[in-house]
Amino acid sequence: MLGRIVTRRNFTPPPSAPAPDTHGTRRQSGGARRESSDRVRLHGKDGEVEGWSLNISRGGVRIIVEDRVELGSEYEISIGDEEHLRRPCRVVWVQDEADGQICGVQYLDTSTGPPPPGMLPDSPEPDPSDPK
């Protein structure tokens, strides 16, 4: 049986040995991930790339695309039916597959980013006269 060859590129330097009290795959930012399967569009200066989300967090989105994206490319991302809601993002890792790419995009509008629109339950607006 032949093994599948996967090429993965990212900006992250090779990991050193994790601290004894830290799980080796734990991320340092971005918060908890949630699985998703929403339509994703990456809007760039040279066109648009469409794909599907695999998981989403406060820090970014893991997506699968058929068209090639380049490591370090910057886009505006829209997720699901929220075409008018776009967030700036950057491709931070790419894994080449036989039928496309799986890649990670990081939101650029904050360091860890709030959850994307629509992920939080409705909450009451704060009262501006409340001195809290």
Q: Enter the DSSP assignment of 128.
A: T
Q: Give me the count of residues in the chain.
A: 132
Higher pLDDT, 127 or 40: 40
Question: What is the per-residue pLDDT for 101?
Answer: 94
* Statement: residue 76 has pLDDT above 70: yes
Closest alpha carbon to 62 in 82, 36, 84: 36
DSSP 3-state of 76: strand
Question: What is the per-residue pLDDT for 22?
Answer: 47
* Statement: residue 14 has pLDDT above 90: no
Amino acid letter, 24? G
Q: Which CATH number fits domain 31-118: 2.40.10.220, 3.40.640.10, 3.40.50.12160, 1.10.3720.10?
A: 2.40.10.220
* Half-sphere exposure at residue 72, Cβ-oriented, CA atoms within 13 angstroms: 3
Question: What is the per-residue pLDDT for 24?
Answer: 44
Mean pLDDT of the region 61-78: 94
pLDDT (tens digit per residue) in 28-42:
555 677 787 889 999
* Statement: residue 62 has pLDDT above 80: yes
pLDDT (tens digit per residue) in 93-106:
999 998 899 999 99
Question: What is the per-residue pLDDT for 123?
Answer: 42
Question: What is the per-residue pLDDT for 81?
Answer: 85
Model-level pTM? 0.64
Instruction: Give me the residue label for tokens 């001195």.
Output: 131
Domain ranges of the chain: 31-118
Distance between CA atoms of 87 and 84, rounded to whole angstroms?
10
Percentage of the chain modeled with pLDDT above 70: 59
